[in-house]
Structure 1
Amino acid sequence: MKKMMNKMPSVGVEGHWSADKFSDNVLQDALIRHALGLTYLQMADVGEVLETVAKFKAGKEWIDAWSEMATTLEKRAENSNSNVTKESAYLRASTYWRIALMYFNSIDDDRLSKYSQNSLDCYHKYLEVSTFPGEYIEIPYGDSFLPAHYYQSPVADENAPLMILTPGRDTFAEDTAWVYRQALERGINCLVYDGPGQGFALRMNGIPFRHDIENVITPIIDYCLENFEGIDEENIILFGISFGGFLVPRAAIYDERVRMCIVDPGNANWGGAFAKRLEMIQKMPKEVRPAQLDFMLEDYIYKHGATSETICDELRKFDNTDIIKDLDCLTIVMDGTSEMTQGEAKVFYDMLECEKEYLLFDEDSGSQMHAQMGGYATASEMLLDLVEKHLIQ
C-alpha cells in the first residue's frame, strides 16, 4: 500500500488553495473543485455546493447528496411562475444531476439512466426559457448515437471558426462550458458532445471508450459541415480536457482539416501510466484494498467495456507516443503547476514538431489545478486570447 501511494501524484503548494483538500478521495476532491469553478458561469452556487459537501461528509452517499440538491432546484423551477427563476434553477439542477453520477458506477442501478435523463431534461428546459443559443442533436454512431449540443455564436461572422470540445473521463460535455461560453462571445461556433465512454453516451447508450478517436471525431466534423451553415473550414479547432486532452491529438493527426488542437493537459501515453497503477491495485489483496482504489479499478473496467483480466491491455492501446511527431497543426498545450500528472504536459509539448504554444498556469493564477478546475475564469480568458491570436483571418 505504501508503495502504491508513493506512486500517486502529489498536488498543491503550501500557502495556495491547491494544497487544501475538500476530501481525501482524489476524484471527489477534484469534482468539488470543478463544481465550485462552475459558479462563475451560474451553473452552480457556492452555498449549494458547500451544503451538499457538508451532507456528504456527514455520511450521506455522494449520489444521494447531489441528487437531493438537484431535486430541490428542479422542483423550485417547476413551481415558479418566473422564467428568470426557471432559467437559473434548471441550469443548476442539470449540473447537480450530472455531478451525482460522476462518482457512481453501479451499472445495474437504474439511477444511471434516470439521473442522466433528468440532467438532460433540466438543461433543455433551461434552454427553452433562456436566450442562450443551443440546439440538441444526436450524431449517428453505429447503431446508436452520441448526444451533443451545437451552439451558434450570436456574434459570429457569416463564415466563422468551429470549436469541437471533447470532455474527460469523469465529466460531461456541458462541463466544458467554461471554454465554449467564452468562445461563443468571441464569434466561434461550438459543438460539444459526449463521446464513447463519456457522459450520457456511456450512461444512457452503453458506449465504452475507444482509443481510435479519429473514427469518432472525423465523422463529427463531417456532420457539422453537412448540417450547419457558416463554418470556416480553415478554422476548425479541437479542444480536449483531461482525458479528452489525450484523445484529440490523435484525431488531429488523422484529419488534415483540423487547424488547431488544444490539449488540457497534454499526455503522450496516458493509458500506459494508468495500466501500471491498475496492475498495482490488482496485486493488493481485496480485503485490504482501500475503497477509493476499488472504485478506481471498477470505474476503468466499466468505462472501457473491459473485464478485470483485460482492462490493463485495453488501457495500453491509449498510447500516442509513436505518432505525436506526425501532429502538424498548431497545438496549444495547457498545464498547471499543481497538475495531477506533473511533468507529462511538458514532455508532450517537447515531443511536438509542429507549431506550438505552452500555456502554464502557476499558483498565483488560481488555475493551477488539473485541467484548471476551480480557476475557469482566468483559464478561459488566457486560452481564448491565445486562440484568437492564431485564428486565420
Structure 2
Amino acid sequence: MTLFEDPAYNFGALLALGASGAGAAEVGEVLTAVNTINGAGPSSRTYVETFRELGDRLLDPPPGAPADDRTKRFRSLRAAQYHAQALFFVLGSDDPGSEEQLYRAGREAWDAFCDLCEPPAVKARVPYGTTPLPVWYFRPDTSGARRPTVILTNGSDGQNVDMWTYGVPAALERGWNALVYDGPGQGQLLFVDRVVFTPTWEKVVTPLVDWLTARSDVDPNRIALTGLSMGGNLAPRAAAFESRIAALVAMPGCVDPWLGFPPGIREILTPDKQRTNDIWNTEVVPELPPQAAEVLKKRFEPFSIPAMLEARRGELFTDFHTPATRLEALSITDVVPRIEAPTLVLDYEGEQFYPGQPRHMYDALTSPKDYVRLTAAQGAQLHCSPMAPQLHCEVVFDWLQDTVKGG
C-alpha cells in the first residue's frame, strides 16, 4: 500500500490508482509515474512535473490508428485525473503561479470527456449570487423518463473527475441521473472566479434542486445528495435546511472541519484578529518547517483569496485569522439534529482527517439513519477508501436504491 513514504504523495497516488476501475486512470500509467517520481526524488516539483506531463501527453492521440471518440473520451478523463494530481501539489512546486493554468488544463480535459459521453453531459450554469455554479448533468439515455437523481458534492480540494469515480457511473448503471457541480471554494469558483467556501451550503444546493425539479426527466420526489471528504460536512448542512432532499450520504460524516487541523494550529486562533496574526507571523511562521507550510498553503487557500494569491507567488499567507475563522464557522454540530432525510454515514478504518467525527454525526442524527465502516480487511481503509471506490459506490448506491423507492 506504500507507493511513497510521504503520506500526502502516497494518498494522492492511491486515489489515482483506485480511479482506474472507473476508467479515470490506468494502473500502468500511475505506477510508471510513481516510479519516475521516486527515481527522481519525491518532491512537489517532481510530482507536479511528472503528472502534468502525463496529462498533457494523453491529450494527443495514442500510437497507431487515429483515435476514435471513445479513445478520446477516456484519454481525456485520464488527463483530467493526472492534471488534478499535479494541481494538488503545485503550490509547493517551483512554479506555484501556474495553478490557474493547470486547473484550466484539467478542466478542458474534463469538458472534452463530458462532451464525448453517450449521451453527452448537459452543461449549464445555475444562478448563485453573482457567480453562477457550473454543472454537468449526466443521464443514462435521452428518453426523457423521470428518474431518481443524485447530486454529488465534492470536498475542499477534489476535482470533478473525483465525482466521476465516486458516483456518476454507479448512478447511471442503476438508471439514475447524476449532477456534478462546482460550489464556492471549489474548481472554477475558487481558481478562476475567486469565491471562497460558505458555511451556508443550503444556499448552494437549493438552486441546484430548483434547476433539477424544473427538468421533465427528474423525479422531484427522488433527489438524493452525497458529500465526499469535506463534502460530508457541506451536504449534511444543506440537507438540514433543504427539505426536498429525499436521502443523504455523508462520506465520511464531518461535523467540524476545523477539528481536522492539529491542535497546535487551532490554538493560534483567538477572537482578536491582530493578536492572532501577530502570533502567527512572529511566533509560528519563523519555526514552520517547509513541508508544513506547503500543506497549510493548500488547506487554507479555499478559505482566503489573498492566501491563494500569496501562495501563487511562493509566499505564505500573513492573515491567519480570516481563513481560520471561516473554517471554524463550518461546524454543524448544532445543525445535524435538524436533518430529516434518511441518512447514511460512512466511516473508514484509519481515517486521517476526521477521526471520530462520523460516529459523532451518526449519534446526533434524529432522522432514519445507517452507519457503515469500511475496513482494511476490505482494502477500503483510509479517508474516502482511495483504493476501493467501486466498493464504496456499491455501499452508497445500494443504500440509495433501497432508500429512495417509488416510481
TM-score, normalised to structure 2, is 0.84
**Out of 170, 175, 180, which is 1:182 matched to?**
170
CA contact (8 A) 2:345 2:362 kept: yes
Distance 2:245 2:238 in 1: 9
CA contact (8 A) 1:211 1:318 kept: yes
Distance 1:300 1:88 in 2: 30
Give the superposition deviation at 1:370. Answer: 0.7
SS at match of 2:90: coil
Residue 156 of structure 2 corresponds to residue 144 of structure 1? no
- Look up the match of 2:345: 333
SS at match of 1:49: helix
Are residues 210 and 128 of structure 1, via their aligned partners in 2, closer, same or farther at CA, if it must alter by over 3 Å? Answer: closer
Give the superposition deviation at 1:77. Answer: 5.7
- Look up the match of 1:302: 301
- Look up the match of 1:72: 57
Gaps of at least 5 residues in structure 2 are 269-279, 308-318
Report the AA paired with residue 48 of structure 1.
Answer: E
Give the superposition deviation at 1:182. Answer: 0.5
CA contact (8 A) 2:226 2:235 kept: yes
SS at match of 1:239: strand
Deviates more, 1:138-147 or 1:73-82: 73-82
Distance 1:76 1:287 in 2: 48
Are residues 272 and 363 of structure 1, via their aligned partners in 2, closer, same or farther at CA, if it must alter by over 3 Å? Answer: closer
- Look up the match of 1:377: 390
Distance 2:154 2:122 in 1: 18
Distance 2:122 2:143 in 1: 16
Gaps of at least 5 residues in structure 1 are 1-19
CA contact (8 A) 1:339 1:370 kept: yes
For residues 192-232 of structure 1, what are the alpha-carbon distances to aligned partners after superposition, in whole Å with 9 as ceiling and x for unaligned? 11111112321122121111111111111112223x22211
SS at match of 2:355: coil
Following superposition, which runs of at least 4 residues in structure 1 exceed 4 angstroms of deviation? 77-80, 106-110, 280-285
- Look up the match of 1:16: none
For residues 249-305 of structure 1, what are the alpha-carbon distances to aligned partners after superposition, in whole Å with 9 as ceiling and x for unaligned? 110011111111100000212224437452368596434423332122222332101
CA contact (8 A) 1:174 1:192 kept: no
CA-based RMSD of the aligned residues comes to 2.5
SS at match of 2:135: strand
Distance 1:269 1:79 in 2: 52
Q: How does 1:6-45 map to 2 (within 5 A)?
A: 20-45=1-26
SS at match of 1:370: coil
Give the superposition deviation at 1:42. Answer: 1.4
For residues 290-347 of structure 1, what are the alpha-carbon distances to aligned partners after superposition, in whole Å with 9 as ceiling and x for unaligned? 3332122222332101632323222110111112111111000011112223222112
- Look up the match of 1:324: 336
For residues 226-249 of structure 1, what are the alpha-carbon distances to aligned partners after superposition, in whole Å with 9 as ceiling and x for unaligned? 3x2221111111100000011111
**Out of 221, 229, 241, which is 2:209 matched to?**
221
Are residues 151 and 280 of structure 1, via their aligned partners in 2, closer, same or farther at CA, if it must alter by over 3 Å? Answer: same
Residue 78 of structure 2 corresponds to residue 92 of structure 1? yes
For residues 60-106 of structure 1, what are the alpha-carbon distances to aligned partners after superposition, in whole Å with 9 as ceiling and x for unaligned? 43221111111111123699622143223222112111221122337
Q: How does 1:345-364 map to 2 (within 5 A)?
A: 345-364=358-377
The percentage of aligned residue pairs carrying the same residue is 27
SS at match of 2:179: strand
Residue 230 of structure 2 corresponds to residue 231 of structure 1? no
Are residues 116 and 312 of structure 1, via their aligned partners in 2, closer, same or farther at CA, if it must alter by over 3 Å? Answer: closer
Distance 1:320 1:382 in 2: 25
CA contact (8 A) 1:155 1:184 kept: no
Q: How does 1:110-149 map to 2 (within 5 A)?
A: 111-131=98-118, 133-149=120-136
For residues 21-66 of structure 1, what are the alpha-carbon distances to aligned partners after superposition, in whole Å with 9 as ceiling and x for unaligned? 3334333222111101110111111121122222333234322111
Are residues 123 and 300 of structure 1, via their aligned partners in 2, closer, same or farther at CA, if it must alter by over 3 Å? Answer: closer
CA contact (8 A) 2:205 2:238 kept: yes
Give the superposition deviation at 1:359. Answer: 1.5
Deviates more, 1:277-286 or 1:230-239: 277-286
CA contact (8 A) 1:213 1:251 kept: yes
CA contact (8 A) 2:258 2:266 kept: no
What number of residue pairs does the alignment pair up? 373
Are residues 284 and 360 of structure 1, via their aligned partners in 2, closer, same or farther at CA, if it must alter by over 3 Å? Answer: farther
- Look up the match of 1:291: 290
Distance 1:78 1:139 in 2: 40
